[in-house]
Amino acid sequence: MAENGVVKEQLTPEMIDAGAVLTQSLDDHGLPVQAAFWLFDAEINEWRLVIASSEAASKGPRAVYRRIQEALDQLGPQASAAPFSAIRVVEPGTELVRLLGTAVRTGSGIGRIRFQKNVINGHFIDDALIYRSAG
Amino acid sequence: MPDKELVKKFYTHRLDTLLSISDAKQALHARTEIDPQFSINWNTVCGWSEASRYDHETSETQARDMLAAVADPQYGVLPWLKTVW
């Protein structure tokens, strides 16, 4: 149970698989993805799939969202547990991405690292599932 | 008497939080289901925070993206919001 009595939304195995499949697909399509992770947003009790791409800075977030939308369309049911509405595109230099990068460093592959109840430089990370944090 | 906890939730700039406590969530869902352009704009606008005002590294491309996401007459978030308030 969450502190305010609301049952915490769970990150399901289907969501975890879908996020990995989408990240792989973005790689295959040549989108530079420096970080990708599910992050629990306690304020709204929902999970967000955060994609950090340098193209968000160079071409704007809408161009990156367009490419993600295309990838999701192609993947169909394989990625249905990672709906477009749950995805947030950020720049790699975003504070959250930099913070996670100081605590967890991965290569350019796709891992599955659970990161829960941790404080990084004074910032509390409730729950995250990290596929990539390559900086 | 208004619910104190509910009232406290309004003290935020976050669009997704405000959406959750408004009656507009279903309307948003209905629109995003059928309109990919609008969905992109909604996600883009949700990337804004009040701290963005002090971010000196925002590029012109990003600023123009945000402006279009908010104000595009056909697919923008603000024209849609005006239909549901």
How much is the ipTM here? 0.88
Residue A90, exposed/middle/buried by CB under 10 A (0-12, 13-18, 19+)? buried
Residue of A nearest to B29 (CA): A85
> How far is the C-alpha of A41 from the C-alpha of A126, rounded, in Å?
8
> How far is the C-alpha of A134 from the C-alpha of A130, rounded, in Å?
10
Q: Which string of DSSP letters, residue by residue, matches A25-65?
A: HHHHTT---SEEEEEEETTTTEEEEEEE-THHHHT-HHHHH
The tokens 């507009």 sit on which residue? B24
Instruction: Give residues 96 to 135 of A whose Cβ lies within 8 Å of B.
Output: none
pLDDT digits (tens, 9 = 90+) for B39-62: 999 999 998 887 777 777 788 888
Q: What is the mean pLDDT of residues A67-86?
A: 96
B27 reaches A (C-beta below 8 A): no
Who wins on pLDDT, A135 or A119? Answer: A119
Q: What is the mean pLDDT of chain B?
A: 87
From chain B, pick out residues whose CB is under 8 angstroms from the CB of A59. 61
Non-local (6+) Cβ contacts of A94 within 8 A are A52
> How far is the C-alpha of A30 from the C-alpha of A123, rounded, in Å?
32
B16 reaches A (C-beta below 8 A): yes
pLDDT band at A13, cuts 50/70/90?
Answer: very high
B59 reaches A (C-beta below 8 A): yes
A93 reaches B (C-beta below 8 A): yes
Mutate to test the interface with A, among B10, B19, B44 (most CBs of A within 10 A): B44
Contacts 24+ apart (CB under 8 A), B31-34: B31/B80, B32/A84, B32/A85
> How far is the C-alpha of B22 from the C-alpha of B18, rounded, in Å?
6
Q: Is the pLDDT of residue B6 over 80?
A: no
B47 reaches A (C-beta below 8 A): yes
Helices (H) then strands (E): counts for chain B: 6, 0
Query: Of the candidates A99, A78, A88, A96, which has an alpha carbon nearest to the alpha carbon of residue A18?
Result: A78
Contact of A65 with A50, CB cutoff 8 Å: no
**Given this model, what pLDDT does residue B3 score?**
79
From chain A, pick out residues whose CB is under 8 angstroms from the CB of B57. 93
Count the Cβ atoms, other than its own, within 10 Å of residue A40. 20
- CB atoms B47 and A44 under 8 Å: no
> How far is the C-alpha of B72 from the C-alpha of B38, rounded, in Å?
9
What pairs with residue A35 in β-bridges?
A: A52, A133
